[in-house]
Structure 1
């Protein structure tokens, strides 16, 4: 079977190429376009009008032909005739100053869609799906839907037309996912401690290349830089030593060419550009380098493989929050992501990479490649499965899916649906001019409309608290109320009385909206089919499959409404986003009214959840069923707390879940640049609170928190905290000489470090600033009482530390937790004791 992974434009052959993964031979198969497809745009000008008004279009060197096509205009709800202007290459349509798009400004539609995406739409291709080739033409292979899944769908959907749509999506989601043969690559470059070499310069030699593959191959290609290299044994890894760097790179390129999929972590920005530029410096011929890269390139590509950069994928907020449950904070480092998801991090080291022993370097390098590979392999290839499923939903090739954010995924999904239905894809300015702006006033500065509701908490400690949560609240109201950019404020006079509560907007009664239909189907499949199927299944493999499917759907659904309120989104429609949040507020207030009438105290509410105090099982079940009947939205139990403490501030609480984990709204204590000492105090407080499973232990835990904070403050005041525990660590993002207008604290410290290095003759006295303390170096500094207010750790003394500055940082870090516990930080600072009890 051939699984479609990518589509690219081949400039030399002037046509699209499809890249399939052969799951039997485990190779990449390149298939050129068979249909003579060409780039194009649409215009509202008739062919003779176009020829008369814009004769240069027909004279353009890239012009191919004109055609008249019929399109449905969703904004006016009518079919119209458009002129299709076809070109010989994508740049002739758009991207160059004299492009056809530029000449037809104000009269061009669908002119900014990337050509390879356009090809996917028009060829009815679904990336991630299996195909067979018949006379060079790909034919999709769909697997039968499991009987129990089809039964769930048929019980839920009665309309025959709708049923066909649901079953079609289920087939796509249920089709098996291949095991991709892949290799993870990681390089090490000779460089001083804390300095990241620039890949565009590639001045320093590559001293090691580690690899870790799905077929069991793993090892390190090591450059000989020592007089004697001992025999290195590291499990079953193969260690190969090279006398010269060119031979090492040639071996690395052979490995890259041997696998259909190559994994990196930040390989777009470092590993692959560095290898490319270094190879050019060493005299490799262009055809000998398997990497395609230029400074203007969106990402680094491979000639004979698909490149997946996991850095962009794991920093994607939607993946972090909805697929991985916020287990890591930002995902900007391999160590952070791997530690959170795999339970193992990078090899720790104090010395510079170039100063490592051969054994240490091999261990360090191989671990990075291993972590990169295992991030795609843990939980039975979970990440690979998520990627393939989300390719199928979004219709994006694998490189675009893994490197772009969720709004690009959703945009592409809707564009694909437009083309399948023969709809004209509107220009953003058309939507805005017809639909207008918002009417509600935003509470949060910078927002354009009123967002979700937050019900003020009742301060205090509460035991036995149940949190009920709307299952996909916004997707649910989008489906129920038929919200879509073409249905909200539709052009039909008879629909104007179909008002959306809390807004002046109305919604169409004639037609089902595209957004409502697609989001509704995905929401129903997730909530009523795959979540239910996962719970009911007794087969572990099947259960895991359904969990992955519902997780992929969750990522899309949780971002589906917000994009329509983002100006950067090409289908931006403010009234849709405003209507969605208005209906969300309406739903939660109606639910709150119902709970209060039933005698269930509501302690707090935020966006799509309510905190209920000690409800009986009967009343809870009655509430859930009542909401389903009245609002047609599922309300379910999300969390159960042994206790919750609310402060007077919104969105500020902490509680102990029944499973023993402390849950805090917003982990302010774990900011990346917070000194370790303060981070550790925060962690100790959380650990102490997690022991409190009843009222008596809770009281004692609060007292211990007070003591812990007081002791920590005392150590700060007495200058008893080691410098390294107080250090802030910030990277130089540009050369020292470029900081002219302002001088940030880490730059002040960097300049002190330069003088320190000169004084100890660690660098020549006439050395350039950018060479002595180069861009990319991590600067460790502490806050002091000297004139500049900071000192590099290397030149600071304990007695110079300014305790007041650290006390202020500690206050900011701990304030959220202490406020909830009604502990006054100022009292602790003065040695007083005052708690809830």
Structure 2
């Protein structure tokens, strides 16, 4: 059978010691399809020391891997671009993706090995990169349909072929927003209410107290409340389960309470319990095939930079983005209402309205998350949680594969700490505003200043301080001893230039469309995604955890930024304008 499908989630599992990628998809009818692909093989690279390539290849071919329960399938000599040079490497392909680190450990300290690369890219991500599959975009799948007994899906396809296709079709996703209310009783957290709101109009408040409200369902106790929530999730079968701060609050608390009550919090489409990953004080809650979107994370990491709200509570954010805030209720009031069992309807309305606000925010923000996923190749689960630099890196990793560039390794912890200790470099020029009320103001603003600087001056780690005298003379960074090559296009400038050109074309298309049309909204979201990544590329090279780290690149972009804005200020003053304010990429002047 052959079918066109849209990918919303992915992971992998092991079947007979081989990796099997699972793609959770939707078809054009809105059915949920699971694609299982066992045809992709995991690999990594070893860079040989000079003159040792054939010796290293033979040694790897003879390597005994029985003790680590894997088999080396192929050992090949390949060429990749590394730091601007064509470089020969050994590509090592094995059967079990979980054994890549073990095979790497066996060879990394050999005298013939300079370094190993691309060993820490998760298997399903490797699959998406190599096949150039974009989450939230379409693929064509060929294969055999099998029974779907173990999964909450309409169909399972064992794939023989999976490839990306261009298809401009929309899917009506099922969204379920939820919110929980807790009080402290005898030193323990107690779940007193859980509300849900779906984009099909379904609304429900679960609580263990009878109320005369059509949307309230009474249950016996906390155990029954959690079990009923799981039933609703199965019945409504949402593609996206949305929360506001669910990663840090609702889901960890629900999971812990469910565990105490001997309930498995199975929210995934593979019937697996929710997986809460904790990294220090930060956690993320993953549900397989039914994507948990935490809106707070996305707003905190991405949208907050352009928002007025300084405190990112649901109330503040909803007021700014939707024009309506939460219903008023302090925690003390909630405790009092619950203990006295008076005004319980007010508490139920408060809880349900939180879910309704979360749903409305989801409908507003999800298209932006989806657009970023398409552009950078991340799953929506990751796109809503990533920082600017993590999104840029995901984008660069995909483009590196296309350009046959070896992906640098993530820095080790000691290297990250070393980078953190570097002194801050000089940033943008800021002229404090002249006090008073001004009129006849002229505003000069650079469009995409830093992305344009990166492209114009070819700022990239591999073009930094090349040996060419011409480059030293013609592309020297103002006020520094740095320069960048002008003879070979850098990897990062190439990608940023493509983004700038793509956004220009989108803006031209948008001019021909009605602003309330679906196509205009789709293009506007994609324009937002492109702008987000191109603007963030400036700071990425100074990100402590960056694979393509080069502090001098960010420092140089800032220096050129100061140079250009200084030129504008100088020109304005020369023409008798009075500069009253300047910040980073803009200048305000009054006409004398």
TM-score range, shorter chain: 0.7 to 0.9
**Structure 1 residue 447, shift from structure 2 partner:** 4.5
Asked if 1:524 corresponds to 2:528, the answer is: no
Cα distance in 1 between the residues matched to 2:507 and 2:264: 53
| Alignment TM-score, normalising by the size of structure 1 | 0.60
2:438 to 449, 457, 462: 462
Asked if 1:9 corresponds to 2:17, the answer is: no
Match of 1:715 in 2: none
Asked if 1:139 corresponds to 2:124, the answer is: no
| SS class of match (2:443) | strand
For 1:528-581, what per-residue CA distance to the aligned partner results, in whole angstroms no more than 9, with x for missing partners?
333344345345314433332222222222211011122322211122112211
CA separation of 1:609/1:245 partners in 2, compared to 1, >3 Å: closer, same or farther? same
CA separation of 1:217/1:595 partners in 2, compared to 1, >3 Å: closer, same or farther? same
Trace 1:303-314 onto structure 2 (pairs within 5 A): 303-314=288-299
| Alignment TM-score, normalising by the size of structure 2 | 0.83
**Structure 1 residue 407, shift from structure 2 partner:** 0.7
Contact 1:71 1:423 in 2 (8 A): no
Trace 1:117-196 onto structure 2 (pairs within 5 A): 117-135=125-143, 136=159, 137-143=161-167, 175-191=168-184
Match of 2:147 in 1: none
2:120 to 112, 115, 122: 112
Trace 1:788-827 onto structure 2 (pairs within 5 A): none
Asked if 1:80 corresponds to 2:87, the answer is: yes
Instruction: Please give the root-mean-square deviation of Cα atoms over the aligned residues, in Å.
Output: 3.3
Aligned residues: 545
Cα distance in 1 between the residues matched to 2:175 and 2:107: 40
Match of 1:779 in 2: none
CA separation of 1:189/1:16 partners in 2, compared to 1, >3 Å: closer, same or farther? farther
Match of 1:390 in 2: 372
Match of 1:704 in 2: none
Asked if 1:301 corresponds to 2:280, the answer is: no
2:328 to 320, 345, 348: 348
Trace 1:298-697 onto structure 2 (pairs within 5 A): 299-316=284-301, 318-321=302-305, 325-331=306-312, 333-350=313-330, 351-353=333-335, 354-355=338-339, 357=342, 358-377=344-363, 382-427=364-409, 447-455=423-431, 458=434, 460-490=436-466, 495-502=471-478, 503-526=480-503, 528-538=504-514, 540-541=516-517, 542-614=519-591
Match of 1:734 in 2: none
Contact 1:23 1:179 in 2 (8 A): no
| SS class of match (2:486) | coil
- Greater RCO between the two (CA within 8 Å, min separation 6)? 2
**Structure 1 residue 85, shift from structure 2 partner:** 2.8
Contact 1:42 1:109 in 2 (8 A): yes
Contact 1:7 1:19 in 2 (8 A): yes
Contact 2:131 2:163 in 1 (8 A): no
Cα distance in 2 between the residues matched to 1:597 and 1:285: 72
For 1:371-397, what per-residue CA distance to the aligned partner results, in whole angstroms no more than 9, with x for missing partners?
1111012xxxx4121111101111111
Match of 1:661 in 2: none
CA separation of 1:554/1:91 partners in 2, compared to 1, >3 Å: closer, same or farther? same
CA separation of 1:523/1:305 partners in 2, compared to 1, >3 Å: closer, same or farther? same
CA separation of 1:19/1:39 partners in 2, compared to 1, >3 Å: closer, same or farther? same
| SS class of match (1:565) | coil
Contact 2:255 2:265 in 1 (8 A): no
Between Structure 1 and Structure 2, the one with more strand by share is: 2
Cα distance in 1 between the residues matched to 2:410 and 2:258: 44
Cα distance in 1 between the residues matched to 2:411 and 2:204: 54
**Structure 1 residue 16, shift from structure 2 partner:** 4.3
**Structure 1 residue 90, shift from structure 2 partner:** 4.1
Structure 1, unpaired ranges of 5+: 144-174, 198-202, 439-444, 616-837
| SS class of match (1:560) | helix
Structure 2, unpaired ranges of 5+: 144-158
**Structure 1 residue 67, shift from structure 2 partner:** 1.7
Q: Which has the larger radius of gyration?
A: 1
Contact 2:411 2:546 in 1 (8 A): no
CA separation of 1:63/1:360 partners in 2, compared to 1, >3 Å: closer, same or farther? same
**Structure 1 residue 285, shift from structure 2 partner:** 5.7
Contact 1:327 1:341 in 2 (8 A): no
